[in-house]
Chain A
């Protein structure tokens, strides 16, 4: 079945720096890759997603890139702010629209 690996597990940056989180997936048939942000004690929120027919998507300070050949996709956050601190999960779609999640990255942005 589909497997998603996510790195790093923790990431600490200074405010204003960039943060990059990377994921790899195993099922070459996957065609949808969302990213979720989860603040402490709250539900995961969809922040950006990308489909396999594009290589990059941007939304203000966040962007996602996809390399289908290498089966890699990454989340890029620029000009990080303290409110970006959270746990971020990547995921890949499997059969029946099941999402297979990575283990998560705990991002800390220090003022």
Chain B
């Protein structure tokens, strides 16, 4: 069966510091991968998606970037965090265009101080 991991689970970072969040998927190959952000008490905003290694599409202009160095690894980064980057970051995977279901990882709660 498929499993999706995210780490760290929680993170407190000062403004201006760098960020690296990692997501890995097990039990599947060539998944579509997604990064979402959820501000406190709010909905889910799609940040990036990837249909393959090295292929990244950005949904909104922002202070973040994403990379997919391996088939089942998705990384979210920032060079300099802003206060507004605080939130709950969720990675999700889906099998592909014929299978629409998406499943979320456990999330990383980021607080920028």
B32 at the interface (CB under 8 A from A): yes
B57 at the interface (CB under 8 A from A): yes
> Which residues of chain A from 80 to 111 have any CB-CB distance to chain B below 8 Å in the complex?
89, 93, 96-104
Contact B100 A101 (CB under 8 A): no
Q: Given that A96-B49, A97-B32 are contacting pairs, would A46 and B44 also be in contact in the complex, using a CB cutoff of 8 Å?
A: no
B84 at the interface (CB under 8 A from A): no
Contact A96 B105 (CB under 8 A): no
Residues of A within 8 A of B (CB): 32, 34, 36, 41-46, 49, 51, 89, 93, 96-104
Specify which chain B residues have a CB less than 8 angstroms from the CB of A49 in the assembled complex.
Answer: 100-101
A102 CB contact (under 8 Å) in B43, B59, B103: B43
Contact A96 B101 (CB under 8 A): no
Contact A103 B43 (CB under 8 A): yes
Contact B49 A43 (CB under 8 A): no
Q: How many residues of B contact A (CB 8 A)?
A: 23
Specify which chain A residues have a CB less than 8 angstroms from the CB of B100 in the assembled complex.
Answer: 32, 34, 49, 51, 93, 97
Q: Given that A96-B32, A97-B96, A97-B100 are contacting pairs, would A44 and B49 also be in contact in the complex, using a CB cutoff of 8 Å?
A: no
Contact A99 B102 (CB under 8 A): yes
B82 at the interface (CB under 8 A from A): no
- Minimal beta-carbon separation of A89 from chain B (angstroms): 7
Specify which chain B residues have a CB less than 8 angstroms from the CB of A99 in the assembled complex.
Answer: 34, 46, 102
Contact B44 A89 (CB under 8 A): yes
Contact A44 B94 (CB under 8 A): no
Contact B101 A34 (CB under 8 A): yes
Contact A34 B102 (CB under 8 A): yes
Q: Identify 4 new A-B residue pairs, CB closer than 8 A, beyond the known A43-B107, A49-B101, A104-B42.
A: A42-B106, A93-B100, A98-B59, A99-B34
A43 CB contact (under 8 Å) in B34, B42, B57, B104: B104
